[in-house]
Amino acid sequence: MQGRQPIEWQDRSWRLLENEGQLETDDWTYAGMGAAAAAAVATGRVRALGWRGLVGATGLGSVGGVVGYLAWRYGINGGKFPDKNRSEREGGI
């Protein structure tokens, strides 16, 4: 989005923050990163490998979080979100 106006950046960020799928993906990714970092610290791998080991574990945890999200959303829930009260958006976009 190089060369875009500030309003275009604001619009894009607002759309991402309001997207249920994006929010759920982010939540699962952060949970995976945290779990992997905690596991690396708890097992003592950080002492052996240093900060690179912690960063590597966190990166692998983010991938694990996304895989967990995909299994949850598309494997267990069939790709559907729970129905909410959609009456607020009737007739709108």
d(CA 21, CA 57): 25
Q: What is the pLDDT of residue 89?
A: 57
In a domain, 31, yes or no: yes
In a domain, 38, yes or no: yes
CA distances from 89 to 24, 27, 80 (A): 21, 25, 18
Q: How much is the average pLDDT of 10-25?
A: 90
Q: What is the pLDDT of residue 69?
A: 96
Per cent of the chain over pLDDT 90 is 52
Is a pLDDT exceeding 90 seen at residue 77? no
Task: DSSP letter for 71, please.
Answer: I
Task: Decide if 37 contacts 65 (C-beta within 8 A).
Answer: no
In this prediction the pTM is 0.75
Which comes out higher in pLDDT, residue 84 or 91? 84
d(CA 51, CA 63): 19
In a domain, 20, yes or no: no
d(CA 80, CA 28): 16
In a domain, 47, yes or no: yes
Q: What is the pLDDT of residue 81?
A: 82
The range of the structural domain enclosing residue 39 comes to 27-78
In a domain, 68, yes or no: yes
pLDDT digits (tens, 9 = 90+) for 22-61: 999 999 999 999 999 999 999 988 888 899 999 999 999 9
What's the total number of domains in the chain? Answer: 1
In a domain, 6, yes or no: no
